[in-house]
Chains A and B, each alone.
Chain A
Amino acid sequence: MAHSGIEVLFEGQNFARLIGGLETTIAIAFVALICGLALGLILGVLRTLKNRVLRLVLRLYLEFFRIVPTVVLLFLFYYILPKTAGVNLPANEVAMLVFALWTAAEMSDIVRGALISVPKHQLESGLAIGLNRWQLYRYILIPQAVSLEIPATINLMTRVIKTTSLLLLISVADVINVGQTIVEANSKQYPNSVFWIYGFIFVMYFVIDYPLSWWATRMNRRRLERVND
């Protein structure tokens, strides 16, 4: 058989290193998503309250994390904050922190959108049986909002996972970073190593992200069916 170059994946420790990089990627995405989604739910609820100052602060928070590119956020938290604020975190923690804060910002908007799209008469019926504001959120608004927001949340998750590919910029040994070192180390011996290594990384991201996006589509279809009942 001709040298396709696929052997580059299995040379020495290459495969184990790619998997190790993938584990780093998944660990960071997982922690960031758990913290970010939980915080985002709280912030989203707070953004539906009447307090104007609070709403403005949270709005600014959202816009900051939405407008500033993730690359810049990573640089800011990894390189700038240690200089100006004296906060010097290891790269992996910076990655989790930045991604969690970003997820929380985006999630707060999803949650807020879902909460305000629960029909007003649902809220009034809740008030009419004497529920207080907390009970209203707990039993009526949040459960209904959650089913509205699941597709958007899953899309957010796939975006966050994809964006972890930026982490090599702050020296995190994620799967892309490891892949790049393998490509450069083997480019002489295997001119096609770029193809195989990035192909492998593509498959890995696909394996993680596709089920999520499939699930999102399915949930969305189910929700539409329910609405049309």
Chain B
Amino acid sequence: MTKQIYSVSNLEKYYQKQHVLHDITFSIDEGEVVVLLGPSGSGKSTLIRTLNGLEPYQSGVLKFKGQEIQPDEKGWRKLRQQIGMVFQSYDLFPNLTVMENILLGPTKVQKQPRDIAQAEAKRLLEVVGLSEYANVYPRQLSGGQKQRIAIIRALALKPELMLFDEVTASLDPEMVRGVLNIISRLAKQDKMTMIVVTHEMNFAKRIADRVLFLENGELLETTAGTQFFENPQTDRAKEFLESMDF
């Protein structure tokens, strides 16, 4: 039996009077890859940030592994160790080395012994091919390298769900592939449960088990990955796909 990891029911969010998320309901199962698609300003980023407690919301019920989430600082803090997140902006801490960036969560938040955390960090660095950069500062890395480190910084906490918010949007084209390959491998080999916001359509097509299509804060359709790209159910999604480059 598949286990439900995260579920959202009747989520409503306003910025002042603007209605940015409108009655959103969906869930994601263990091992599933959900891709959020939609035009700019459709609410994809707002939604994924809400899932990690970075945006307040007005009503609705969020559940992690069947447990209702208490939307306060303490509740979110506990949850964030189980939900990894990577952002669009390069968000490594410039005052810490690559290794210190990776170890901060495991040692300070999860209180793992330093040697164990360090061994795991080394293994992760090897996986993404950046072993020799352990002791350099982020400013010495390229954008693609920074995003790969940001991914393993999130993975070091051994999360059960990963959230990717347009992680390749700020990268130079030649850097994009390397980062996407890591995410693909995470999905296919490691069966990581993940929610992905992206504009890379080929990538989305390759990894999506399910696509959630949003426009103007409304969830217009929830469709299995392959089917969405070949035969979307709504006209809006059809228009959207036609306007995109593959």
Contact = CB atoms under 8 A, between A and B. Distances in A.
Interface stretch (B35-43, B85-93, B119-127): B85-93
A127 B54 CA distance: 8
Size bin of chain A's contact surface = 20 to 34
B56 interface: no
B91 A131 contact: no
B105 interface: yes
Nearest to B108: A135
A128 B77 CA distance: 8
B87 A139 contact: no
Interface stretch (A4-12, A57-65, A118-126, A186-194): A118-126
Contact of A139 (B52, B91, B104): B104
Interface string A98-135: 00000000000000000000010110111111111101
Interface string B64-106: 0000000001001110110011010101111110000000110
Contacts of A144: 93-95
A125 B91 contact: yes
Contacts of B157: 129-130
Contacts, number: 67
A130 B93 contact: no
A125 B96 contact: no
B95 A129 contact: no
B169 interface: no
A73 B148 CA distance: 55
A218 to B, nearest CB: 19
A128 B54 contact: yes
B104 A131 contact: yes
B44 interface: no
A52 to B, nearest CB: 18
Interface string B193-236: 00000000000000000000000000000000000000000000
A154 interface: no
Given A135-B109, A229-B139, A128 B95 contact: no
Contacts of B95: 140, 143-144, 147
Residue of A124, A128, A143 with most partner-chain B CB within 10 A? A128
Interface residues of B, number: 29
Contacts of A130: 77-78, 80-81, 105, 109-110, 157
B154 interface: yes
B153 interface: yes
Nearest to B53: A127
B91 A124 contact: yes
Contacts of B94: 144
B54 A125 contact: no
A226 interface: yes
Contacts of A126: 93
A51 to B, nearest CB: 14
A127 B81 CA distance: 10
Interface of B: 52-54, 73, 76-78, 80-81, 84-85, 87, 89, 91-96, 104-105, 108-110, 139, 150, 153-154, 157
| Nearest 4 pairs of A and B residues by beta carbon | A125-B91, A129-B105, A130-B109, A143-B95
28 contacts: A121-B89, A122-B91, A122-B93, A124-B54, A125-B92, A125-B150, A126-B93, A128-B84, A128-B85, A128-B87, A129-B80, A129-B81, A129-B84, A129-B153, A129-B154, A129-B157, A130-B78, A130-B80, A130-B110, A131-B105, A135-B108, A135-B109, A139-B93, A139-B96, A139-B104, A143-B95, A143-B96, A144-B94
